[in-house]
Structure 1
């Protein structure tokens, strides 16, 4: 494939698409939808691991990727694909309307996050927007999505000090596996500010590291699974 972001104009070569989902019926439905359009389905994958292998072999322009699949997590596959093929556009297409998944997807380099209930016309319009280089989910929209989480001050019985609302937001993102660098643009602050928040969180929780902090968050029900 070319060494520039994908583009498609009348008369241009079709946009090569890889479908990655562990439900064959869904893959068949999307394949049918994309027939007689500027998109060409060049392959299918039934797991995250297979999606990475198929991307290496088929060199698609665009990957439609589910999140929870047997045989490999879609978010892990996203990270692997974008690391090895940064010019490949990836759109997460899933049933999970989950702010923490959205955060991980955006931080991982996804061009968008769509729900499977989207109608056919909207899906095609969204894919065409990605082809034009547009981002289907902006940082501002992500911030609004994160407000769907319970980000009030947390004051559990075993806390040395209560967590502020911002510290709760950082803890929720930290528990999804995001690094300080990933969290900074999501919360519109500097990486050093995130580092300070993480240090405060660890001290207030009375734990030794961010892994233990993530475990604490899961046990308190702060993370939407």
Structure 2
């Protein structure tokens, strides 16, 4: 796992980098704000970005939207002191794979990163229920059709795999198709289910019991 660390506090950043390196996790770089993170995401191609929310120049939420738009396969996990519901919900809507509070200990952090590798969504204690409740109120189909009545078999397969946290590349390999084909199917899924983004699709899949997250 290659990790990019993004935080505007140098001492915290250095300590986190040393901690992760000691555990054998490759830290490919660091950034002090969202714009710097965007540049380094393209240059360093990390698997995961640990991103603070509150930063100058470009905050973590805006940076997440920009990075996911250009590099959708990079997983972004917010690592922050902000417990504000608005920040949490906006992070998920922007494409973040997880949201962790800085009051967690080292073992909890590494456990969450392992969960991320398994395709799970790392969330600090108490946050998962908030996320599902928020999206449960948003993810509603006008006629309450079930996905299997709207989507074809291939789209259902793509939906299930994406909801498990797999990247487009991993989905393509599992289904023996190209990444371009997977992205096409995701676009059709979002369109058919009348949703805005992949985060809502994943929340929908969980709500309907198509996958456990």
After TM superposition, the score normalised by the length of structure 1 is 0.58
The correspondence for 1:57, drawn from 36, 43, 66, is: 43
Instruction: State which structure, 1 or 2, has the greater radius of gyration over its C-alpha atoms.
Output: 1
Change (3 A) 1:18 1:186: farther
- Structure 1 match to 2:11: 25
Structure 1, unaligned runs of 5 or more: 1-14, 148-182, 194-225
Displacement of 1:108 in angstroms is 1.2
**2:190 aligned with 1:190, yes or no?**
no
Residues 124-203 of structure 1: pairs in structure 2 closer than 5 A: 124-137=110-123, 141-144=127-130, 185-190=135-140
Count residues in correspondence: 142
Structure 2, unaligned runs of 5 or more: 144-213
- Structure 2 match to 1:36: 22
RMSD value, Cα: 2.4
- Structure 1 match to 2:64: 78
Question: Could you say which structure has the higher helix fraction?
Answer: 2
d(CA) in 2 for partners of 1:129, 1:57: 26
Displacement of 1:89 in angstroms is 0.8
Change (3 A) 1:81 1:87: same
d(CA) in 2 for partners of 1:122, 1:143: 18
After TM superposition, the score normalised by the length of structure 2 is 0.61
Secondary structure of 1:35 counterpart? helix
Contact 1:103–1:142 (CA<8 Å) still a contact in 2?
no
Secondary structure of 2:53 counterpart? coil
